[in-house]
Structure 1
Amino acid sequence: MMEVFFASLALGLLAGLSAGLFGIGGGALIVPLLSWLLASQAFKPEHVMLVAVATSLATALFTSAASVRAHHKLGNIDWHRAFRLGPSLLLGAAGGAIVAEDLSADNLRWFFIGYLLYTSLRMALPKKNAATAHKPRLYLDFPMGLLIGVLSAILGIGGGTMSVPYLAGGGLAMKNAVATSSTCALPITISAAASYMALGWHEHDLPAGSLGYIYLPAFAGIVMTSIFTAHLGAKLAHRLPAHQLKRYFAIVLLLIAIKMAW
């Protein structure tokens, strides 16, 4: 238990730094690295990915809340769109947790490998999500919210890689799309983390320190460090060659995907 906690402190440093520096959630690093860490502990193979995903979502709740607070102070959040998307995100995230529990460990792993490859490609070949001039198609908010919620809960992420392009493509300026996306991550992380906790509540073969599928030593270690390094990463983003660094990070994600596949 203590071994996982101390290793998670280092994982939180990396996850927070990448979130602030590259603008992606820490789940892209937390889920694969934590799954390898848990595999070396007393976790059954079929629980490893589920616990990594659930714990990643629980930690994202804190980073999302801090991000929402900062964006709200700047006045960048479109609260009308956030509230429109909220109910479907809540439902989708709960459904995604149920789907993830029913997936085999191998299928869940390949699902995440696909996400890593997609994210790696987007970072290696950046494309601006420019706001469009036409009015947003609000009738798409509910089905898109469901889809984003389901996929986010399965992958252990806040959904920004999907919600930012959707909001920017629907007429929001990029800074407002990013800010509103961080707000959308709150219902996703709350609903998915609560669902994973409830689904794993009666699993008797999870190690001590588990709250459902959320592993508390890893959760505590990641949160304790990531909330500090996320701010550091955001500051460094203004000083370092971010576009070049994104390409390097894309290679790291690609290597992680290959390692998971291997």
Structure 2
Amino acid sequence: MILLAYLAVGLLAGLIAGMLGLGGGVVIVPALALVFPLLGIPADMLMHLAIGTSLAVIVPTSMSSTYAHYRRGAVDVPLVRLLLPGLVVGAVLGGWLADKLPSALLSRVFGVFVVCVATQIFFNATAPGRRPLPGTSGLLTTGTVIGTMSTLLGIGGGSLTVPFLNYCRVDMRRAVATSSACGLVLGVVGAAVFLWAGRDHPGLPPGAVGYLYLPAFIGIAVASVLTAPLGARLAHSLPVVTLKRIFAVFLAMAGLRMLGVLHF
């Protein structure tokens, strides 16, 4: 039953990663927060394991998604290069902060964050961009903020990257594709930080390497890699506004669940 849950989460995470550039963490973290207590994982490390595992899954998922988008010529490689230094610095900083914060606080931060993002996505689905992209220093700062928040919350970056790029007049499909590439960078750095941070934690469950739970990683990653290209195909063919609003509702429900407002 647990394996089926991992596979189901992976299928959905891969689809969302490819379609909306969200990395899949917005699905993976809440799902693992539900599954891990059933495995007897202690509450004090539950969210750290969920986030670390999510970041690790984002690596193969983003590779699959980015390749699918790249084949369609949608990845803005120069823009990724400009964001890259800030993303790396922010990912390290976010991983360090996550190791210092209690698991319950991380859950609340994640819940508030995704509800805010969902509201923004839903009500601004058709709004045009308001300003051009900032210069090099502005992109460095933006990358640092995105990297910090994404690694702290285990979400892969798309929840911030896509809205930011849309705000800066980047086409939605190009924003999704570029976000997927940024998510790959964040996943690699963030997962490495969480592996290192949790290496000596007492009481890690069997199957855990640092803050990475291998059984969940394998089950989710195998499925997500399969559906990420399908999500990318949908991003280039279906009405994006409708898809964004449907996902915004789902995302808000996930955030409210993390805050304890909804129980499912």
Give the TM-score band, short-chain normalised. Answer: 0.7 to 0.9
Is contact 1:129–1:174 with CA below 8 Å preserved after alignment? Answer: no
Q: Equivalent of 1:50, from 42, 48, 53?
A: 48
Q: How many residues get paired?
A: 260
Quick one: distance in 2 between partners of 1:67 and 1:16? Answer: 8
- Worse overlay, 117-126 or 203-212: 117-126
Is contact 1:92–1:150 with CA below 8 Å preserved after alignment? Answer: yes
Is residue 17 from structure 1 mapped to residue 33 from structure 2 by the alignment?
Answer: no
Is contact 2:173–2:236 with CA below 8 Å preserved after alignment? Answer: no
Q: Counterpart in 1 of 2:31?
A: 33
The AA in structure 2 aligned to 1:176 is: R
- The sequence identity of aligned pairs, in percent, is 38
The AA in structure 2 aligned to 1:158 is: G
- Worse overlay, 135-144 or 167-176: 167-176
Quick one: distance in 2 between partners of 1:64 and 1:47? Answer: 26
Q: Counterpart in 2 of 1:197?
A: 195
Is residue 93 from structure 1 mapped to residue 91 from structure 2 by the alignment?
Answer: yes
- Worse overlay, 242-251 or 54-63: 242-251
Is residue 116 from structure 1 mapped to residue 117 from structure 2 by the alignment?
Answer: no
Quick one: distance in 1 between partners of 2:174 and 2:20? Answer: 17
Shift of 1:22: 4.7
Q: Counterpart in 2 of 1:219?
A: 217
Q: Counterpart in 1 of 2:104?
A: 106
Q: Report the RMSD for the aligned CA atoms in angstroms.
A: 2.5
What is the DSSP-based 3-state SS (H/G/I as helix, E as strand, rest coil) of the residue aligned with 1:76? coil
The AA in structure 1 aligned to 2:82 is: R
Quick one: distance in 1 between partners of 2:119 and 2:133? Answer: 29
What is the DSSP-based 3-state SS (H/G/I as helix, E as strand, rest coil) of the residue aligned with 2:204? coil
- Worse overlay, 153-162 or 179-188: 179-188
- Worse overlay, 197-206 or 74-83: 74-83
Quick one: distance in 2 between partners of 1:77 and 1:211? Answer: 33
Shift of 1:105: 1.4
Q: Equivalent of 2:141, from 131, 143, 150?
A: 143
Quick one: distance in 2 between partners of 1:173 and 1:233? Answer: 17
Q: For structure 1, list consecutive stretches of 5 or more residues without a partner in the other structure.
A: none
Quick one: distance in 1 between partners of 2:256 and 2:166? Answer: 31
Relative to structure 1, the CA distance from residue 133 to residue 155 in structure 2 (aligned partners, 3 Å threshold; closer, same or farther) is closer
Q: Deviations over 1:115-174 (max 9, x none)?
A: 220232134324346456756322211111111000000111121122223334445444
Q: Deviations over 1:84-125 (max 9, x none)?
A: 221221111011011011111121011110122023213432
Relative to structure 1, the CA distance from residue 191 to residue 72 in structure 2 (aligned partners, 3 Å threshold; closer, same or farther) is same
- Worse overlay, 142-151 or 8-17: 8-17
What is the DSSP-based 3-state SS (H/G/I as helix, E as strand, rest coil) of the residue aligned with 1:167? helix
Quick one: distance in 1 between partners of 2:24 and 2:73? Answer: 24
Q: Counterpart in 2 of 1:167?
A: 165
What is the DSSP-based 3-state SS (H/G/I as helix, E as strand, rest coil) of the residue aligned with 2:75? coil
Shift of 1:237: 5.8
Is contact 2:125–2:244 with CA below 8 Å preserved after alignment? Answer: no
- Worse overlay, 245-254 or 72-81: 245-254
